[in-house]
Structure 1
Amino acid sequence: MPLVVVGISVLILLFLMTKLKLNGFVALLLVAVGVGLVQGIELEKIPEVLSEGIGGQIGDTMLVIGLGAMVGRVMGDSGAAQRIAGKLLDLCGPRWVQVAMVLTAMLIGVTMFYEVAFVIIVPIAFTIVRVTGKNLLWVGLPMSIALSTMHSFLPPHPGPTAVAASFDASVGLTLFYGLFIALPAGALIALLWPRLPFVRAMNPSIPKGLVSERVFDEEEMPGMAWSLSVALLPVVLIAGAAVTDMAASGTSPVLHFVAFIGSAPVALLLTLSIAMWAFGPRIGRSLDEVSASCRSAAQAMAMILLVIGAGGAFKQVLVDGGISDYIKDTTDGWSISPIVLAWLIAAILRVALGSATVAVVTASGVVLPLLAGSGVHPEIMVLAVSCGSIAFSHVNDPGFWMFKEYFNLSVIDAIKTRTTYTTVLAILGLGGVLAVEWALDVLNL
């Protein structure tokens, strides 16, 4: 039974990645080969299937992921990210420090990956804790929740971008719809969770040696206007193109130009070009320093790209092995919503695999057949899978351990805080996805 093959393959992935600590890229490839053999794909064709899956996945996502990482690193190394955080704190004051952290995380987290943005912002959180004497989780937890929401729900982050490519969905529309879900859901949980009794009972100390004590001086940081403009530029371009596409039709050269600069790779390339000058020679940093930031970002993203590529290989084996067709035929008669089913598959894979990126890319191969004939907008299916992939972060998730160490928590306390907030975010995200799909149907869009 094909579904048994899928279940066993997921269990084997879990065993390889958690018990044997095997690299995700290698584990996915090994399991993909095994599934290909079991499903009867001809031996000599398996390498071709793997190459097709890797090439298709990497080709569609590498530009967006690589450029997004470079933009984030250039902003962090120049002090632009700290400038945004500091200004927001000045505006909000100590009483509204949580709001400042949420706004900072959402602005920076749009283009930065969770881990990168976390490392950049967390020193600011530590500084605020020292100055105000507030609980570390009271200040830092809203930041982490907001970053988790941005990273898991929205392109140009790896998971949603990879699924958008698999589903042939518009990255711009996915971002546009996703913002209506991510912003209220992320803000609600970020402000609610630190107030829960079991979280308030925790009072961890600032860890020693994990974060540099250095903070940029006032004169070292670029101005607020430049910092904020660069952070928001890709969002404005991508979302603007999506709005234009919905509001206008035709073959006007202006519309073609808007679509061109609003495509995710071009928007991020333009943003990176501006960032390299604005946070480089314009403020006295050499191009060598800026290039070093870009190189570091590229090196950090190398393994993520490899894992995404291997997930694409696994997806292709599922498709060519007939498993995807079987799932489509099996689920055609189900009364459950394809949106709910897509979310559920991603959530189960997240529990099993740990990594949200691996879960979301793997789930896309299983979910892809559900899209055809479902009548659901492909962008909505992307968001359903992405929301499901954030659920149940626990001990097999690298982000879980980063969260635990930086906030100096025990494993049990980390599970109480991170596992619960990621699960509730995923459930709220599913509700938001269903609401957006309903609204699109009502408006006949």
Structure 2
Amino acid sequence: MPLLVVGISVMVLLLLMTRLRLNGFAALLLVAVSVALVQGIPVAEIPEVLSTGIGDQIGDTMLTIGLGAMVGRVMGDSGAAQRIADRLLARFGPRWVQIAMVVAAILIGVTMFYEVAFVIIVPIAFTLVRVTGANLLWVGLPMSIALSTMHSFLPPHPGPTAVAATFHASVGLTLFYGLFIAVPAGALIALLWPRLPFVRRMDPALPKGLVSDRVFSEAEMPGMAWSLSVALFPVVLIAGAAVVELAVSGESPLLHFVAFVGSAPIALLLTLLLAMWAFGPRIGRSLAEVAESCRSAAQAMAMILLVISAGGAFKQVLIDGGISDYIKDLTDGWSISPIVLAWLIAAILRIALGSATVAVVTASGVVLPLLAGSGVHPEILVLAVSCGSIAFSHVNDPGFWMFKEYFNLSVIDAIKARTTYTTTLAVLGLGGVLAIESVLDALNL
């Protein structure tokens, strides 16, 4: 039974990493090869499947995470990150620092992918932890939760946008309805989860190489205007491109140029060039010093990228092994509410495959035939699928490994923190979707 294979593979992976202390990269590849053999993937094709999974995952994340880490380290080594952190502390105070992180994450995360927004904001979180002495999860977890919610629930993020296209739903209405779910649910869990006893018992150290250990004096730090401008520069480029894409139709060289500079890798590359000048020669630091900051960040990212790429290989083995087709056949003919069915199929696929994007695309194909005669608003079904796709992030999700490595957690602690919050968000999202559909029905909209 394919789902049993998934369950056993997860347990074996946990055993290898917790009991035997095997490196995450090696453990993931070993389990991926074992699952490929059990699922009947021809031996000669297994290396290609692994390479495809690693290539797809690295292609999506290496440029984003690598460039983002370099920007963060350049800002940290120049004092720019501390300048922003100090201003947040001055405005919100240590008591309300979580509110500051949630507000920043929601505003940035509406239009930016989780990984991109994460690597932009996390240096500020690291600096706040170092300056205040607070627990890393106390500051960083609210940011991650808010970003996860925005990324999974709302267009123009790839999952919800793809489902909206399949269901011929209005992207604008989907975003409008989704905000009523994503903002309160994300803020609630972001502020609640760090206060839970099992999370408060975790006290991870700051990851080495991704944050500066130096404490800057007031005179040594660059001005707030430059610090904030560089931090927000990729946000403006990426968000601006998303807005233009939604507002303008047709083909033109200008639109292609906007899409080019608004793509995450190009936006972060331009930001890195700006940061290298603004926090280098402009303030009297040599290019050699700036280059050393970039080198340190790249060195610290090496193992993180390896683990994330191996997570992509594990995900690809599960897909090519026929797990998604099995789930489609299993759920065919279930007689339950289309909203609940859409959410449930996406959640099962997410648990089994790890990839939220694969989960939403596959689930939308299963649910599409039900849409015509269901009477459910297509935008509501988009949100149902999107909410289900965030559930139960665990070891077959490359995003899980990014969360684990950046917050310097053990596998078990990462499951306790991330798997629980993603599942709770999915359940709250389903409740919100059902509530909005009821309101729309009551108003005959």
After TM superposition, the score normalised by the length of structure 1 is 0.70
Give the distance between the partners of 2:24 and 2:232, measured in 1 at CA: 33
1:338 aligns with: 342
- Structure 1 position 143, deviation (Å): 2.2
Alignment of 1:232-271 (within 5 A): 232-271=232-271
Q: 1:90–1:291: structure 2 CA closer, same or farther, 3 Å change rule?
A: same
Select the residue among 138, 143, 151 that pairs with 2:139.
143
Q: 1:374–1:219: structure 2 CA closer, same or farther, 3 Å change rule?
A: farther
- Structure 1 position 310, deviation (Å): 1.7
1:302 aligns with: 302
1:35 aligns with: 35
- Structure 1 position 322, deviation (Å): 2.1
1:89 aligns with: 89
2:314 corresponds to which letter in structure 1? Answer: F
Select the residue among 343, 349, 363 that pairs with 1:370.
363
2:393 aligns with: 389
Q: 1:243–1:327: structure 2 CA closer, same or farther, 3 Å change rule?
A: same
For structure 1, the residue ranges without an aligned partner over 5 or more in a row are 127-135, 157-161, 350-358, 405-410, 440-445
* Conserved 8 A contact 1:85-1:100: no
Give the distance between the partners of 1:309 and 1:203, measured in 2 at CA: 30
Q: 1:399–1:315: structure 2 CA closer, same or farther, 3 Å change rule?
A: closer
- Structure 1 position 337, deviation (Å): 3.2
Find out whether 1:321 has 2:321 as its counterpart: yes
2:132 aligns with: 125
Give the distance between the partners of 1:243 and 1:9, measured in 2 at CA: 42
Give the distance between the partners of 1:431 and 1:13, measured in 2 at CA: 33
* Conserved 8 A contact 2:66-2:301: yes
Give the distance between the partners of 1:401 and 1:244, measured in 2 at CA: 35
Alignment of 1:116-195 (within 5 A): 117-126=124-133, 143-150=139-146, 152-153=148-149, 180=179, 184-191=184-191
* Conserved 8 A contact 1:80-1:221: yes
2:216 aligns with: 216
Q: 1:278–1:193: structure 2 CA closer, same or farther, 3 Å change rule?
A: same
Aligned residues: 396
**Residue aligned with 1:219, SS:** coil
Give the distance between the partners of 1:338 and 1:331, measured in 2 at CA: 10
* Conserved 8 A contact 2:28-2:310: yes
Q: 1:382–1:218: structure 2 CA closer, same or farther, 3 Å change rule?
A: farther
Q: Which moved more, 1:32-41 or 1:317-326?
A: 317-326
Give the distance between the partners of 2:125 and 2:224, measured in 1 at CA: 20
Q: Which moved more, 1:363-372 or 1:176-185?
A: 176-185
Deviations 1:196-255 (A, max 9, x none): 9x79xx9999x9xx9998521111111111111121222222122122211110112222
* Conserved 8 A contact 2:79-2:216: yes
Give the distance between the partners of 1:292 and 1:86, measured in 2 at CA: 25
Q: Which moved more, 1:415-424 or 1:273-282?
A: 415-424
RMSD of equivalent CA atoms? 4.9
1:6 aligns with: 6
Alignment of 1:11-22 (within 5 A): 11-22=11-22
Give the distance between the partners of 1:267 and 1:400, measured in 2 at CA: 22
1:354 aligns with: none
1:50 aligns with: 50
Give the distance between the partners of 1:305 and 1:435, measured in 2 at CA: 40
Deviations 1:317-355 (A, max 9, x none): 223222221122212334443334434665x67xxxxxx
Give the distance between the partners of 1:438 and 1:283, measured in 2 at CA: 58
* Conserved 8 A contact 1:149-1:186: yes
Q: 1:15–1:338: structure 2 CA closer, same or farther, 3 Å change rule?
A: farther
Give the distance between the partners of 1:89 and 1:282, measured in 2 at CA: 26
Q: Percent identity?
A: 60
* Conserved 8 A contact 1:315-1:364: no
Q: Which moved more, 1:56-65 or 1:222-231?
A: 56-65
Give the distance between the partners of 2:95 and 2:125, measured in 1 at CA: 22
Give the distance between the partners of 1:7 and 1:417, measured in 2 at CA: 20
Q: 1:230–1:321: structure 2 CA closer, same or farther, 3 Å change rule?
A: same
2:126 corresponds to which letter in structure 1? Answer: V
Q: 1:237–1:272: structure 2 CA closer, same or farther, 3 Å change rule?
A: same
**Residue aligned with 2:62, SS:** helix
Deviations 1:237-287 (A, max 9, x none): 212212221111011222222111111111111111111111111111111
Give the distance between the partners of 2:14 and 2:101, measured in 1 at CA: 35
Give the distance between the partners of 2:330 and 2:417, measured in 1 at CA: 37
* Conserved 8 A contact 2:36-2:46: yes
1:372 corresponds to which letter in structure 2? Answer: G
For structure 2, the residue ranges without an aligned partner over 5 or more in a row are 109-115, 166-170, 369-377, 440-445
Q: 1:61–1:27: structure 2 CA closer, same or farther, 3 Å change rule?
A: same
1:369 corresponds to which letter in structure 2? Answer: T
Q: 1:384–1:236: structure 2 CA closer, same or farther, 3 Å change rule?
A: farther
1:231 aligns with: 231
- Structure 1 position 23, deviation (Å): 1.8
Give the distance between the partners of 1:273 and 1:435, measured in 2 at CA: 47
**Residue aligned with 1:50, SS:** helix
Give the distance between the partners of 1:19 and 1:54, measured in 2 at CA: 26
